[in-house]
Amino acid sequence: MGIKAPRRSSRMFGGINSSFEEAKFVIIPVPYDSSTTWLPGARFGPSEVIDASRYLEPYDIELGATFGNIWTMEEIEPVRASAKKTIGRVKGAVEWVLSEKKFPILLGGDHSITVGSVKAFKQRYEDLLCLFFDAHADLYDEYEGSKYSHACTARRCYELGAKIVAFGVRSLGAEEVDFVGKKEDITIVSALEARSHPEEALSKALSRFPELPVYLSFDVDFLDPSIMPCTGTPEPGGFDWYTTTRLLKKVISSRRIVGMDFVEFSPVVNRKDAAYLLAKLIYKSIGYLTLFQIQ
Ligand SMILES: [Mn+2]
- Are 30 and 256 in contact, with CB atoms under 8 Å apart? no
User: What integer is the mean pLDDT of 13-34?
Assistant: 92
User: What integer is the mean pLDDT of 41-55?
Assistant: 94
pLDDT one-digit tens code per residue, 184-226: 999 999 999 999 999 999 999 999 999 999 999 999 999 999 9
Q: For residue 88, count CB atoms less than 10 angstroms from its CB and return exposed for 0-12, middle for 13-18, buried for 19 or more.
A: middle
Distance 212 CA to ligand 1 centre (A): 24
- Are 206 and 131 in contact, with CB atoms under 8 Å apart? yes
Domains of the chain, residue spans:
13-292
User: What integer is the mean pLDDT of 99-113?
Assistant: 96
Report pLDDT for 8: 57
Cα–Cα distance, 203 to 286 (Å, whole number)? 21
Distance 222 CA to ligand 1 centre (A): 7
pLDDT one-digit tens code per residue, 159-188: 999 999 999 999 999 999 999 999 999 999
Parallel, antiparallel or unpaired: strands 25-30 and 257-263: unpaired
Distance 8 CA to ligand 1 centre (A): 31
Class of the domain covering 13-292 = alpha beta
Using 50, 70 and 90 to split pLDDT, how confident is the model at 100? Answer: very high
Distance 23 CA to ligand 1 centre (A): 30
Q: Is the pTM of this model over 0.85?
A: yes
Task: Please list, residue by residue across 228-248, b when 16 or more beta carbons sit within 10 angstroms of its beta carbon and e when fewer do.
Answer: bbbbbbbbeebbeeebbbebb
- 2, pLDDT greater than 60: no
